Chain A
Amino acid sequence: MNKLERLMNLVAMLLEVRRPATLEQIRNSIPDYRKQRSMASFKRMFERDKSELREMGIPIRVEPVDAFGEETGYRIPKEEYYLPEVEFTLEEKAALLLVSRFASGGMIPLSREASSALLKLSPDLGRSGEEGPLRIPVRFAHPAESPEALSKLWEASVRRKTVRFAYRSLGSPEVRERSLDPYGIYFDRGAWYVVGFCHLRNEVRSFRLSRMDRVELVNPDSPDPDFRRPAEFRLRDYSRVLPWEFEEGTEYQAEVRLSPRIAWWVERDLGDVYPFRCLEDGGAVIKVRVRNEDAFFDWVLSLAEDAEVLSPPGLREKTVRRLEEMLEYLEGEGK
C-alpha cells in the first residue's frame, strides 16, 4: 500500500473516531500497519507518520481514552483541524487568485508558505457553476533572487535577530563578512535590499540581496530578540534614497526645469520625494537634494534636452562643462 494512502487513511480515521484511538486500534485498522510483523516495527512506522503529519501542522492530540485515564489514544479534533469557512465576494476571490499568482513567482519572503495557505483556501476561491474558475490576466515573471535568504532576512527583522552574511560591495571584488541587525527589507526597481544597523560601519545601511551569500542567524538557538529596533526608524527614509543622495559631502538643493515631454514621467517617479512646481506649458520645475554630483549628472544628463539645471549657478556651470567635455571627448575619439 502506498504511503500517501496510509497517511490519508490515518488522518481520516483520527478525524472520525468518537473516542481517542489506541495504538492497538490503529494497528488493527489500517492495512499497512496490520502488515507489520511486530508491535515494535509498527510503532516505528506510526511514530514516523505521526511526526510527519505534525510537521505539516496537523493537530494530532494524545488524550486519555476514558475517565479512568489509564490508557491513552490519539485523535484529531475537528475544530482544530478544519479551516474556518470564509465567504469571499467575486472581487475578493479575484484579488486572492492574483495574490496566489504573485506568491508562486517566489519573489517575496515566505512565498512558499503563502502558496500553501492559498492552496488550502482554494475551495473558498472557486466559482461554482458553469463559468469555471476565474482567469487572471496577470503574470509575475520576476526571477526569484533567493527566496530562502529573503525569508530568513525578513523573519530575522521581525524577530529582531542579528544575521551574518558574506557581502560583495559594488565595484569591489572583495567579499567581506558582515553582521547586521536587520530592521526591514524593501524592493525597488527589481531588486531586494535589507536595511539595518551594520556592525562593521556602526551605522544604518542598505545591502542588496543579490550581493549577499550564506545568510545565517548569529544566535539561532535563542528565542529572544538580539536587538531593539529604534522607535523612530522608518524604512521609507532608506528605501527612497536616490543615487545622488548617497555618500558623504554637504547636501544642497538644485532646481531643474523639465520639458512638457517628460515632466509627467519624472513626477511619477520622483513626485513622492521632491517638490514639483508645474509650469504653464506643461513642464515643471523640480527641487532635488544633491550630495553625489556624479550620480546627479548621470541622471540629469540622461534627460538630455528635456532637462535644464537652473540653480545653483555653480552646478549649472558644471553641467555646461560636462557637456563641453563630452563634446571634446567625442570629437577626439572621432579622429
Chain B
Amino acid sequence: MTDPAARLRRLLALVPYVLKHQGATFQELCEVFDVSREELIRDLNLIFMCGQPEYTPADLIEVVMEGDRVYIGMADYFARPMRFTPSELAGLYVACSALAALAGSPSDSALHSAMERIRRAMGLKDLSPEEVEKSLEMASPDSREGMLAMLMRACEERRLVEMEYYTYGRDELAWRRAGPVSLVFRLGHWYLNAWDEKSREMRVFRVDRIKDLRLSEERYVPPREREPLSAGTGGIPERGGILVRLRFSPRLAAWAEEQPVFTEKVRNGEGLVCALRTDNLSWLERELLGWGTEVEIIHPPELKERLRERVRRTLSLYEKKRRSRKR
C-alpha cells in the first residue's frame, strides 16, 4: 500500500498531465508515473468519483478510457499541478547541478537552460546557485569531454560506434566496434551496455577506459537480449572460472573489507582472507603489484608465477642504473 500523501500527489499531477496530453496511452502514463496498469486504473477510477459539490454526474470529472487511450474533461480547476515547496525546488536544483557535474559538461547546455527556466518561473529564494556550488561537489568520473553525450546519442539513434578500448581484464588496448544500448552509473563509474561485434554478445564497457570514440554512420538492430548478463563488480570480469584466494595483512584488511569485488571475506587473525572469481588474471597482477608484500597469494599458484614475471619486467625499467652499482 502506498503512502496516501504520495498517491494524492500523483493524482494531482496525473489530472493535469492528461488534460494537457489528451489521449495519452496507458503505457505512457504507467512509465511517466511509475505505476502498474492496475494502479493506474485504480487512480483513474478514483478521479472519476471526484468533482464539485452536489456531485451529480454533471459535476464530476469526466474520465474516458477508450481502447488504450485516456481522456479527462470537466476538471479545469486541476489544469495545473501544485506549486513546488521550497525544499522540492531546492532538491530539483541540487539534482540538476549534481547531474551536470556527474555527466561532465555534455548534455548540459540543455540542462542548464532548463534549470534557468525553472529558476526564472519559480524563483529560488532560499538557496543561491553559489551556495549549491560551494557546498556540494560530484567528481565527474573522468570521461573525455563530450563522450557521454556521444554515447547517449548512439544509444538513441542505434548507431554503431568504433572505440579504442582498454580492456583492464586482459590489460590490452585495441579498437573494436559496438552497438551501444544503454548507459548505467554505478559504484562511481559510468558503464556502457553494448552489443560487441566481435564476440556477438552483449558486453559491459567502462566509459573512462574508452580512449577514443567515433560515431559511425551504420545503424544496428539491437539484439533481443537487452541487458548484459552481469556487471555487478564494475567492469572487472567476474563470471570467470578462476577462483582466487588472497590473504591481506592487517594494514590492508579494513580496506579490503569494503571492496565489493571480493565475494568472500573471512577474518584470519589480524588479517583478512578474501576470495573472488575472474576469467582473467592480468588485471589482478596490477592490483597485486600495488599491494606489494601486504598480500599473500594463496591460490592459484599460476598467479604467483605470473606476478613474479611482472615484477621482473617492471624492475627492468630501472635495470641500467641498478647494474652499474650492483653489489
Residue numbers of A with Cβ under 8 A of B are: 2-5, 7-9, 11-13, 15-16, 29-31, 52, 55-59, 78, 80-89, 91-96, 98-99, 102-105, 108-124, 126-128, 132-133, 135, 137-142, 154, 157-158, 170-172, 183-191, 210, 229, 233-236, 239-240, 261-262, 264-265, 268-269, 294, 297-299, 301-305, 308, 316, 319-320, 322-327, 329-331, 333-334
Contacts and interface: CB of A to CB of B under 8 A. Distances in A.
Contact of B53 (A29, A123, A323): A29
A81 B83 contact: yes
B142 interface: yes
Interface size class of B (residues with CB under 8 A): 35 or more
A114 B13 CA distance: 15
Interface string B176-207: 00001111111111000000000000000000
Interface in B76-119: 77-85, 87-92, 94-96, 98-99, 102, 107-108, 110-111, 113-114, 117-118
B152 interface: yes
Contacts of B31: 133
A29 B56 CA distance: 12
A12 B82 contact: no
Nearest to B23: A128
20 contacts: A52-B5, A56-B8, A96-B96, A104-B34, A110-B91, A120-B83, A123-B13, A123-B21, A137-B155, A139-B183, A140-B186, A170-B254, A184-B134, A184-B136, A187-B102, A190-B188, A236-B137, A268-B144, A319-B318, A334-B304
Given A110-B90, A327-B308, A140 B7 contact: no
Given A80-B83, A84-B122, A190-B189, A108 B98 contact: yes
B290 to A, nearest CB: 3
A301 B289 contact: yes
A302 B33 contact: no
Contact of B82 (A58, A115, A132): A58
A122 B98 CA distance: 20
Contacts of B296: 333
Contacts of B142: 268-269
Contacts of A31: 55
B57 to A, nearest CB: 15
B305 to A, nearest CB: 8
Nearest to A238: B137
B188 A298 contact: no
A279 B112 CA distance: 37
B274 to A, nearest CB: 16
A224 to B, nearest CB: 15
B137 A139 contact: no
Contact of B308 (A78, A141, A325, A331): A331
A119 B136 contact: no
B50 interface: yes
B110 A91 contact: yes
Given A80-B83, A137-B155, A187-B188, 16 more contacts: A13-B52, A59-B83, A84-B122, A88-B117, A96-B111, A110-B91, A120-B83, A183-B135, A185-B136, A188-B139, A235-B137, A297-B290, A297-B292, A299-B290, A323-B315, A323-B318
Given A5-B49, A15-B77, A142-B187, A99 B143 contact: no
Given A4-B11, A86-B121, A154-B136, A9 B50 contact: yes
B46 interface: yes
Contacts of A122: 13, 17, 32-33, 81
Contacts of B276: none
Interface of B is mostly: helix
A8 B32 contact: no
B291 interface: yes
B20 interface: yes
A266 B223 CA distance: 34
Contacts of B251: 171, 294
A4 B46 contact: yes
Nearest to B297: A333
Interface string B125-138: 00100010011111
B95 A103 contact: yes
Nearest to A268: B142
B91 A268 contact: no
A303 to B, nearest CB: 7
Given A83-B81, A323-B315, A95 B108 contact: yes
B50 A304 contact: no
A117 to B, nearest CB: 4
A145 to B, nearest CB: 12
Given A112-B91, A190-B188, A117 B137 contact: no
A-B pairs, 7 with minimum CB distance: A190-B188, A302-B290, A113-B91, A110-B91, A114-B91, A137-B155, A29-B53
B77 A120 contact: no
B312 interface: yes
Contact of B77 (A12, A127, A141, A330): A12
Interface string B149-192: 00010011000000000100000010000001111111111000
Contact of B315 (A94, A262, A299, A324): A324
B322 interface: yes
Contacts of B181: 137
Nearest to A87: B117
Contact of A118 (B92, B290, B317): B92
Given A110-B87, A117-B91, A308 B114 contact: no
Contact of B138 (A59, A187, A333): A187
Contacts of B46: 2, 4-5, 8
A265 B108 contact: no
A327 B312 contact: yes
Nearest to A85: B80
Contacts of B19: 123
Nearest to B183: A138
B197 to A, nearest CB: 19
Given A4-B8, A123-B81, A298-B290, A133 B28 contact: yes
